[in-house]
Amino acid sequence: MKRYVVCYDVHDNSRRTKFMKKLRNKGFHSQLSFFEVEGSSPDEIVPEARGILEKADRYSVIRLSKRGKIRRIGSLLEGMEWVI
């Protein structure tokens, strides 16, 4: 199993709170804008939370290294459509 982090962005504060509660109810330990999951591929992870993630303004699934670090910070920024 590989470890992934799902980063999401919800602009409105009240929507973000509801969003986080829905994720917690599904069993995801959601922080302010991300949660960590395990799976064999990103395609396996997203369907579990797809109904919730589709309501986010944007989201990205990033693979973590064995030490739990993001492999490439560029992949996070590209996935979230952020530009430096």
Chunk the chain into consecutive blocks of 10 residues (it has 84) and report each block's average pLDDT, rounded to whole numbers: 80 83 78 76 72 80 72 58 50
Q: Report yes or no on 56 lying in a domain.
A: yes
Domain assignment of residue 49, yes or no:
yes
Query: How far is residue 69 from each of residues 3, 12, 17, 64, measured CA to CA in Å?
Result: 10, 28, 26, 5
Residue 42 maps to a domain: yes
Q: Which pLDDT score is estimated for 84? A: 41
Cα 84 from chain centroid (whole Å): 20
> Quick one: pLDDT at residue 66?
73
By CB neighbour count within 10 A (0-12 exposed, 13-18 middle, 19+ buried), where does 50 fall?
exposed
Residue 83 is predicted with a pLDDT of 46
Give backbone dihedrals phi and psi of 51, rounded to 5 degrees, phi first.
-60, -35
Q: In this structure, is residue 84 part of a structural domain? A: no
Domain membership of residue 36 (yes or no) is: yes
- 0.75 exceeded by pTM: no
**Chain mean position to CA 76:** 10
The count of structural domains within the chain is 1
CATH number, domain containing residue 45 = 3.30.70.920
75 part of a folded domain: yes
Residue-range definition of the domain harbouring residue 59? 2-79
